[in-house]
């Protein structure tokens, strides 16, 4: 009899640990405190994972499999995966443990110790839900001086024959990034997001989370995430039919009061196994061939899954555990309270934080160019920033969160993942959003108490880190501009930043 452990982000009927399961085996699933609280995850995130787990467990039971499910509030709950595995081994005649590789390095290290600890064979199988194996990525990365997503993406396009014809990429280009950076325009008709009313199982989970995780970040209600395979497929279909056609044009746009825009909102379903990457890719590809969506939208969406998602996973497993400890800029400022409260006069930050609190979601430009841009320019401690991103978003698991935040947002890896820091002044936010229209600060002012803080923080960041960044070929123009500034102008940026940081440290409303 095998004990087959399924983790909360492995809710796929095709998961490798179930491949040869029989009714004689025991499928172990458990809602444990150690996983729910090692960072204090958003209430909605916990509710989503627990409800999806319970629905998936029911589907396995309906298939005739023997499921041992431990709810969070069960009296016998051991509080940890190790404790639950140990309890199952004591209760049952188990001759081996089978598990699919987890998505976090810390958890893999723990599971690898169970064979010695419990004196039972432990089989850790590859996670076959991804389109590139660890070996694929290692082979691609071998011998390369720079690991750039664009070139990996092209290999993946070729391997899986996505948007390809006999002569190369359909349309003659590998990407359409230049067409996918349109600022928002007046009168955009953004469809309502997918909404699945909670059923009885979800209602029970919501009640549990409301009681046991009351001190966690975020709003629990309203709750409208899909929690089943069928629901997730419905969310994908709605995106393809209602949002994909304008996704490309406005994927970088930010509009106050429109947190969802034309994005798919399916990353959380992909990352727990309710959707499979290739089926999402093929659905978008078919929409293009039907004439339902333009190439720039379809390619832009596909690149996020086939390119970026697979690439960051490859970086994570290639570079861990050393990767997590890197801190290229020696950043050490504490994460300010405003990331929890949203209490700031900077309207862009306020909107993105409050929407994150409400929805356990923000789209990629909000995460990168508002929330992340501030963290980068302010020199916030990478560990604290990583923990924040990991806990606030429903789609965040360490394999995807850490490279995105540590490498892309903070450039803490010194350029392993991104070719330059994604730093920007207020001009970028003004171009790509309407946030500045309702802000206490003036984005057109470069210095002084009324100036947009992003303006002087940007030049202060470049001055502080010039010794590390001047050699970056993508920042040559930036440093030429900095060098042409007067001494007074450079000093003003430093002084404004010092004043701002002092106010931040004093917990003033900046």
Here the CATH number for the domain that contains residue 424 is 1.10.579.10
- Asked whether residue 259 is domain-assigned, the answer is yes
pLDDT of residue 485: 97
Number of domains in the chain: 3
Same domain? 203 vs 312: yes
Same domain? 269 vs 174: yes
pLDDT of residue 187: 87
> What percent helix, strand, coil does the chain show, rounded to 5?
55, 5, 40
Q: Computed over its alpha carbons, how large is the radius of gyration of the chain? A: 24
By three-state DSSP, how is residue 122 classified? strand
Of 287, 319, 351, the one marking the end of a domain is: 319
Here the CATH number for the domain that contains residue 103 is 3.40.50.620
- Asked whether residue 333 is domain-assigned, the answer is no
Same domain? 288 vs 144: yes
Same domain? 54 vs 146: no
In terms of residue numbers, what domain contains 6?
Answer: 2-125
Same domain? 241 vs 368: no
- Give every residue of the chain whose pLDDT is below 70, as ranges: none
The CA distance from 426 to 431, in Å, is 9
- Asked whether residue 326 is domain-assigned, the answer is no
Contact 191, 242 (CB under 8 A): yes
- Asked whether residue 331 is domain-assigned, the answer is no
The CA distance from 124 to 335, in Å, is 37
Identify how many contiguous H helices and E strands the chain contains and give both numbers.
25, 7
Of 73, 96, 125, the one marking the end of a domain is: 125
- Asked whether residue 283 is domain-assigned, the answer is yes
The answer to pTM > 0.85 is yes
Same domain? 67 vs 191: no
- Asked whether residue 234 is domain-assigned, the answer is yes
pLDDT of residue 376: 98
pLDDT of residue 61: 97
Same domain? 381 vs 492: yes
Same domain? 86 vs 153: no
């Amino acid at each position: 009899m095998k004990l087959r452990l399924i983790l909360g982000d492995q809710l796929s009927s095709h998961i490798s640990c179930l491949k040869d399961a029989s009714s004689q085996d025991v499928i172990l699933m458990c809602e444990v405190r150690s996983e729910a609280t090692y960072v204090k995850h958003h209430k909605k995130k916990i509710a989503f994972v627990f409800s999806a787990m319970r629905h998936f467990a029911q589907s396995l039971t309906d298939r005739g499999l023997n499921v041992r499910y431990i709810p969070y509030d069960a009296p016998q709950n051991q509080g940890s995966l190790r404790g639950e595995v140990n309890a199952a081994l004591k209760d049952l005649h188990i001759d081996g443990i089978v598990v699919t590789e987890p998505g976090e390095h810390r958890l893999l290290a723990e599971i690898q110790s169970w064979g010695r600890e419990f004196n039972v064979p432990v089989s850790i199988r590859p996670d076959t839900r991804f389109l590139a194996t660890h070996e694929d990525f290692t082979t691609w990365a071998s011998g390369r001086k720079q690991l750039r997503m664009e070139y990996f993406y092209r290999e993946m396009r070729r391997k899986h024959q996505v948007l390809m014809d006999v002569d190369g990429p359909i349309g003659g280009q590998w990407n359409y990034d230049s067409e996918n950076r349109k600022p928002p325009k007046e009168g955009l008709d953004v469809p309502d997001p997918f909404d699945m009313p909670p059923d009885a199982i979800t209602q029970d989970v919501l009640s549990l989370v409301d009681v046991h995780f009351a001190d966690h970040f975020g709003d629990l209600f309203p709750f409208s995430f899909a929690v089943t395979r069928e629901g997730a497929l419905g969310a994908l279909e709605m995106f393809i039919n209602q949002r994909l056609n304008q996704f490309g044009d406005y994927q970088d746009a930010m509009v106050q009061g429109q947190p969802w825009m034309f994005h798919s909102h399916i990353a959380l379903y992909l990352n727990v196994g309710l959707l499979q990457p290739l089926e999402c890719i093929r659905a978008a590809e078919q929409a293009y061939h039907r004439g339902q969506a333009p190439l720039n939208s379809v390619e832009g969406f596909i690149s996020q899954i086939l390119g970026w998602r697979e690439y960051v996973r490859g970086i994570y497993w290639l570079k861990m555990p050393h990767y997590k400890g890197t801190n290229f800029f020696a950043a050490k400022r504490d994460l300010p309270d405003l990331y929890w409260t949203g209490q700031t006069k900077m309207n862009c930050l306020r909107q993105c934080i409050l929407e994150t609190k409400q929805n356990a979601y923000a789209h990629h430009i909000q995460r990168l160019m508002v929330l992340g841009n501030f963290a980068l320019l302010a020199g916030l401690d990478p560990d604290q920033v990583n923990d924040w991103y990991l806990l606030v978003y429903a789609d965040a698991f360490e394999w995807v969160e850490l490279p995105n935040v540590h490498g892309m947002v903070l450039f803490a890896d010194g350029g392993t993942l991104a070719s330059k820091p994604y730093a920007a002044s207020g001009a970028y936010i003004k171009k790509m959003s309407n946030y500045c229209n309702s802000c206490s600060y003036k984005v057109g002012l470069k210095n002084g108490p009324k100036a947009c803080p992003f303006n002087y923080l940007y030049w202060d960041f470049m001055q502080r880190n010039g010794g590390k960044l001047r050699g970056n070929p993508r920042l040559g123009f930036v440093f030429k501009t900095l060098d042409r500034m007067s001494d007074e102008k450079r000093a003003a940026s430093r002084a404004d930043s010092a004043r701002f940081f002092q106010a931040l440290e004093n917990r003033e409303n900046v």
